[in-house]
């Protein structure tokens, strides 16, 4: 019985860890956003949006970096360090929680961010889903 409970818990945790990540914008923003544009935004090659990131300590941040941007968090940190050092860019602001990202995007027409799909509310618009 205990084995079955542990297996069920592990399966649930695994499923939760693999939940979809959605890229969100303010509902007033009519712009579409491709996967390529997300990479450009989060690597500093596009300033079409006011991008926000989750704090480095949050697991969803690492998932987004790898699945959404195609780089590890360490690679992105090094990339941004170089841009900052050379005066060629400023990394997206970091927010402490998904709720903070939702609030920021909901209140800023030019904002873009990401959260887990389960967190989405009607205060934001989903423009891209990352599986």
Cα–Cα dist 70/82, whole Å: 18
Residue 63 burial (C-beta neighbours within 10 Å; 0-12, 13-18, 19+): buried
Q: Considering only the C-alpha atoms of the chain, give the largest distance between any 2 of them, rounded to a whole number of Å.
A: 60
Strands 21-25, 125-130: pairing is: antiparallel
Question: 53-86: per-residue pLDDT in tens?
Answer: 999 999 999 999 999 999 999 999 999 999 999 9
Within a 13 Å sphere around the CA of 107, how many CA atoms are in the beta-carbon half? 6
Q: How high is the mean pLDDT of the chain?
A: 89
18 phi, psi to nearest 5 deg: -105, 20
Query: Alpha carbon of 63 to those of 53, 92, 106: distances in Å?
Result: 12, 16, 23
pLDDT at 11 over 50: no
- State the pTM of this model: 0.85
Strands 93-95, 50-54: pairing is: parallel
């Amino acid at each position: 019985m205990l084995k079955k409970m542990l297996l069920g818990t592990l399966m649930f945790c695994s499923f939760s860890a693999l939940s979809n990540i959605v890229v969100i914008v303010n509902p007033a923003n009519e712009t579409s956003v491709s996967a390529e544009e997300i990479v450009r935004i989060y690597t500093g090659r596009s300033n079409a949006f006011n991008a926000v990131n989750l704090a480095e300590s949050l697991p969803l941040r690492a998932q987004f970096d790898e699945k959404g941007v195609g780089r590890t968090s360490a690679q992105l940190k090094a990339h941004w360090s170089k841009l900052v050092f050379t005066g060629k860019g400023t990394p997206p602001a970091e927010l402490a929680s998904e709720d903070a990202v939702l609030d920021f995007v909901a209140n800023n027409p030019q904002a873009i961010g990401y959260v887990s799909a389960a967190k989405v509310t009607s205060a934001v618009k989903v423009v891209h889903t990352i599986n």
